[in-house]
Amino acid sequence: MTMTRIKIVVDSVADIPQELRQKWDIGLIPTYVNYGGQSYADDGIELDRTAFYNAMPTMTEFPTTSAPALALAEDILRESLQGYDHIVAIHVPEKYSTTINVTRIAAQQLPPDSITIIDGHSLTAGLGLLGLMAAEKASETSDVQQVVDLVERVRDQIIIYAAIATMTYIRRSGRVNNVVAAVGSLLQIKPLLHVHSGEIGVLHRIRTFGRTVDKIKELVHEHTPLERLIVLHIQNEEGAQQLKADLQPLMDRDLPIMEVGPTLGTLVGPGSLGVLILPRID
């Protein structure tokens, strides 16, 4: 077996906590959040997440997101090869972000066959989980093909359910029009979003946020037994803690809670709750 030093790289949408990125030496190509006349790297350092979410409800100009500059991506990829032989880069689907295309262009400046770029078919913790599992597999095997095979096998098994507190931010963003169309003009509807195999859709339209969260719990039970389960939230720690308490009996390990970062949070908005599930892998 060829032993290869493999570096995993993700983009900001993966929302991997900084301590875990450091533990596994996972590289980050940052996306940017633009508001107040400034552009901030969503890298967990430059953009104050709490301040951003606190300001969102009163912003007169809707924040936008953007991919990194090509030169920055090139620099990050070159630096990522220092001490490594090969990069496996896992990105948000290109229908939702141009970052994967920036990486593809930047990769042309690297030595031939030194990088593999994968569409992660997921968002937020879905990408993050793929990045962490890839890093673990790379450490165990030092084999690029085994890492790629793992990511491609797992990515379409990951499911995210999300209860959206308000449709205000999705509507204002002008993105994910299929979600807006599914909800229509019913402003009080709380959609239950479903993210799977790179597609975002509305699974249910429910009249109260609490009932939407209850439906998420029902769906999680339907998928048991589970390999992984993560509670997600955007500036709703109290709701996340309650959801964790309700779902903890399904897992034999402590159930992690993760806050979704500003790149995706700009679209979804504060108050939202969700879960990532990965059914048991045989």
Domains 6-31+67-154 and 159-279 in one fold: no
- Interior/surface letters 119-154, b for 16+ CB within 10 angstroms, e for the rest: bbbbbbbbbbbbbbbbbebbeebbbbebbbebbeeb
Per-residue pLDDT 10s for the chain (282 aa) are 467 999 999 999 999 999 999 999 999 999 999 988 899 999 988 998 888 999 998 888 889 999 999 999 999 999 999 999 999 999 999 988 999 999 999 999 999 899 999 999 999 999 999 999 999 999 999 999 999 999 999 999 999 999 998 878 877 755 555 554 445 445 567 888 999 999 888 888 888 899 999 999 999 999 999 999 999 999 999 999 999 999 999 999 999 999 999 999 998 889 999 999 999 876
Domain 159-279 has CATH 1.20.950.20: no
Provide the residue ranges of all domains of the chain, joining segments of one domain with +: 6-31+67-154, 159-279
Query: Could you tell me the two tokens for 273?
Result: 């709750």
How is domain 6-31+67-154 classified at the architecture level of CATH? 3-Layer(aba) Sandwich (3.40)
Closest residue by Cα to residue 238 from 254, 257, 225: 257
